Amino acid sequence: MSREEDGDLIPTGMFVEPESFKLPQPEATEVTYQTIGGKSIYVNLVGSSPLYGHILTNACMFVANYLEENAASLVRGKTVLEFGSGGALPSLLCAEFGATMVVATDYPDADLISNIEANIEENSLTANCKTVGFIWGNDTTGITHLLEGSGQSTFDVIILSDVIFNHTEHYKLLKSCKELVTPGTGKILVTFSPHRPRLLKEDLDFFAKSQEDPYEFEPEFVEMKHYSPLFKDDKDESTKELRSRVYFYVLHTPEA
């Protein structure tokens, strides 16, 4: 007699928690960003995300301010791509300030991408702002086809806001940047805070890797600014200053 016939199997439903036992999912939050000119940009953030898509980070705020202050030279009439967009504030601002086309990408999680779509619609930016799920290092045609009609096949500006903490994915990210940035004139804006202060060296290794063949980017350190510490639940006073930093670099592109 088999174990199944003998009734010796443990019922599979035994380990399923009753609905009442499950922890409630964190609720989504909405942030309103006020531009210098007084325009309100509405950003809804998902309730939770293992990739920090539920947080409007200091690095994101820094690059948003930078893009707004330099919209005339960096944004207006340009094509813009954002990796790891989260709520996509930088992308929304670029669309608002006159970019020809903006593509906001993030990991192809249904909640993340539908949330970005909703943010684009909420701010009435569907004409020049699109979103698509994308895994770094993969085929880029799902992104480049969104440039049809713009007169370009690559991006003038790529935004990397708080994404280089994922050290194992550096080369895949650089591969995608190389394939999608406009040679010679394109710029890659990189902002980040040390998510894990003891691994700051590994964060900074991204810029050394960016100079390697076949990427051959030229990293320029622009500035480092202090905000309130990221991850306020972290009570380690010895890392407080490090966690408050936002680093800003620009990767310049070589000629084709």
d(CA 53, CA 46): 7
Q: Are 120 and 129 in contact (CB under 8 A)?
A: yes
**In this predicted model, what pLDDT tens digit does every residue of 65-83 receive, in sequence order?**
999 999 999 999 999 999 9
**In this predicted model, what pLDDT tens digit does every residue of 163-176 receive, in sequence order?**
999 999 999 999 99
Residues 105, 46, 37, 248, CA torsion sign: negative
pLDDT band at 144 (very low <50, low <70, confident <90, very high): very high
Q: What is the pTM of this model?
A: 0.87
N- to C-terminal Cα separation, the chain: 72
More confident residue, 37 or 217: 217
User: Domains in the chain, start-ordered, CATH in brackets?
Assistant: 12-252 (3.40.50.150)
- In the prediction, which pLDDT does 3 show? 41
Segment 115-133 mean pLDDT = 97
13-17, 31-35, 159-163: range with lowest mean pLDDT: 13-17
**In this predicted model, what pLDDT tens digit does every residue of 205-251 receive, in sequence order?**
999 999 999 999 999 999 999 998 876 667 788 889 999 999 999 99
pLDDT band at 255 (very low <50, low <70, confident <90, very high): confident
From residue 68, give the alpha-carbon distance in Å to each of 32, 82, 117, 179. 15, 15, 22, 26
